[in-house]
Structure 1
């Protein structure tokens, strides 16, 4: 199990068994690298597997509440 603030955006589109469509926004460079890490090490991103209300999907809010993103993730081995 790997947990942390990766400052990565994995987006809201399905990517194999790594990311499900319950994310937020579009993928950034750190998000692509996190997805690649998951694919190489057989991890899945559990934060995107459960459908939440949109107000509960974000894990970070910018100062002044201008934007909200999901950048903290919990990764587990696919076999679990």
Structure 2
């Protein structure tokens, strides 16, 4: 059995609304990663790893952690 690509152009889940939501979510994560990088003078990988660890520790999603980082405005 051949693996099906995620959200390929022939996938019924590949709708403009779903793509828009994905891109918005990605933008939030990227902005939070950038903020962590600036505040802590660390690499993108380290910033993303911090967010992933925090998400796992709080049984949350990375996107939710990113939103908290951006809305609370606190130093990390």
Q: TM-score, normalised by structure 2?
A: 0.29
More strand by share: 1
More helix by share: 2
**Structure of greater relative contact order (alpha carbons < 8 Å, 6+ residues apart):** 1
Q: TM-score, normalised by structure 1?
A: 0.28
> Bigger radius of gyration, 1 or 2?
2
